[in-house]
Structure 1
Amino acid sequence: MMEIHRSDERGSFRNAWLDARFSFEFGSYRNASRSGYSDLLVLNEDIVAPGMGFAAHPHDNVEVLSFPLSGSVEHRDSTGAREVLAYGDVHLMRAGSGIVHSEMNPSPTEYERHVQWWIRPTHRDARPAYAKRHFLPEAKRDRLCLIAAPDADESALRIDQDVRIYASIVGRGAIRHALAPARRAYVHVLRGALSVNDELLRSGDGAHIEGLSSLMLQADDEAEIVLFDLR
């Protein structure tokens, strides 16, 4: 079974410096049919004005991953981590027992765009932590590149949940992903258009997938996605 959620069906929020889209319930956006999927709790797309962003605020007991698409994001948190992220970077902030962080657009002239997702952790009140990895386009082109997993080596982020997260730039070939029995998947299109088992998805679209043994990803031109292999 595959259930498609179109980009224009997402929740939204806009103010003077932020244009945000919510694939699942977040903030004031309430939709009982979109209250996360398995351990994927939040998937937001944010466009942030120059010099603006999310000032220091707290989180706890959630794994937060950010994936810049254009421009840059400056991250600071109470563990002492300070990083500027750009396209190709992915970071994992383990909120654990409690963390305070900010995410700002450091450019005085350019907008930045990123997606961020939150994963429910296996263990509560873990020690807060921060990690960052960089993934070249070549590592993602025409293949599923593992960016986070519970058993990841140093090439990917180690996440505290039975979730495997992949990024891919799908060209004119086809990519197959096998799903183990009782596993589910969520595919989110970052840019472009592609078919997932012959269902066409465009930028901002997402697909819940369960009860299938494999996924076939195909694009006529080029599309970029993230794929979540979930419990």
Structure 2
Amino acid sequence: MAATTRNPSRDSLAEAQPQLGLRERKKLKTRIAIRRATYRLISEQGYEATTIEQIAEAAEVSPSTVFRYFPTKEDIVLTDEYDPIMEAELRARPADEEPLEAIRQVMTDGLRTFIEDERDEVIQRTKLMVEVPAIRARMTETMATTSELLVHALADRTGRDHDDLDVRVFTAAVLGALREVMLYWAARDHQDDLIELVDRALTTIQGGLRL
């Protein structure tokens, strides 16, 4: 049976990772609390007006704790805990499945569940990507972490080295497509079907741009 992505809700995310020790689960819960407080404050008063001090107070932690988990305010908006899950699901796909098809299934299944569980957060995040230049700029940097995870998983699946140029170009193309889809979706007021947009973007990568 083909593997499917299991994106747990935020409430159960820590418990859904039994490989984590008690200390790691506490850290995960703190990260989630900080992010939730941030989104709540931003929705109430806007991104620029929301300070790290306010976030810390709302999350019941110190400002230094916020910075320990998230180097910048942009990171709070952009970072989530799903990259390791996505990597694991990619590695669990059938061994004979083409890389692009494996990526397609992992991304679309994961996004579908994520939207069902956290639609408001997804909408708020992508809206901020469009509206706040600092977030959009930081997004390129944070995607490097996701890229490394996927590069290693795809290299292992295809029997290539982790520094293989073709793997890195392929991964960059996929993540670049995902970035553009998110911005396009938000710019059109989230009216389109996000899953269909992702599927369309990956099909474009597969077939190229034709006349």
TM-score (norm 2): 0.27
More strand per residue: 1
TM-score (norm 1): 0.25
More helix per residue: 2
- Say which one has the larger Rg: 2
